[in-house]
Amino acid sequence: MEETSLYIVPTPIGNLEDITARALRILKEVDTILAEDTRNTGKLLKHFEIKSNLQSHHAFNEHKTVEGLLNRLQKGEKIALVSDAGTPVISDPGYILVRACGEAGIKVETLPGATAFVPALVNSGLPSDRFIFEGFLPHKKGRQTKIQELAEEQRTIVFYESPHRLVKFLEQLAEAWETDRRASVSREISKFHEETQRGTLEELAAYYTEKPPKGEIVVVVEGKKIEKKPKGNKYKYKDQDQ
């Protein structure tokens, strides 16, 4: 059986107790840990007394470092990839390395673990049997086009958004979609000030205008409701005059 060379390891998004025993074991056993920000990950490793080698791997250098990392992996080095918080590759760097490993025949093992959008979706009270994850929408170019494209989406939609853009984002959705479309805003998931607010897009925009939000934010919006057409008569009757 082919041995794993690259491990994708989720890290806590808030409470350090969210890390798994398996994640801790892997981080201790690998030769190198690739970190989005070595300062943030360094604090985590220090807390759990992990002394594996730490290397920077982020969106601005991953194109340049992939070839060298592949060579090291092919020689038998064990490497773990982490992000600042949550599961790597989900709106974070790592996709290029994972794809390259797949093309090179290097086994990649992804551990289950923390990610912000799953608890936000479950806590929203909106249908979660069918949903789509959009992450961060483009800041400028293509933003309105994407919002218009999603207007007819019937599944629950999950977004990431920054606190300083949240109110404008909710107002954009309310203007392009229905103002009474139900939604929820979860922020600081698994942290001390965790909060979820539910309401219509219009109500949430008003709420956060009065109380500017802080922290990492997940917005969950219900899909477009489709009105069911009334069914016609099951039986046809002949004209009594015939």
pLDDT-derived band at 127 (thresholds 50, 70, 90) equals very high
Considering only CA atoms, which of 61, 221, 60, 215 is closest in space to residue 137?
A: 221
pLDDT digits (tens, 9 = 90+) for 39-90: 999 999 999 999 999 999 988 888 889 999 999 999 999 999 999 999 999 9
In the chain, domain spans: 6-110, 117-221
From the options 3.20.20.30, 1.20.1260.10, 3.30.950.10, 3.30.70.260, give the CATH code of 117-221.
3.30.950.10
Considering only CA atoms, which of 168, 158, 177, 161 is closest in space to residue 209?
A: 168
CATH 3.30.1300.10 fits 6-110, yes or no: no
pLDDT digits (tens, 9 = 90+) for 139-164: 888 999 999 999 999 999 999 999 99
pTM of structure: 0.86
CA dist 19 → 10, 43, 48 (Å): 8, 14, 10
pLDDT of residue 91: 84
d(CA 134, CA 129): 16
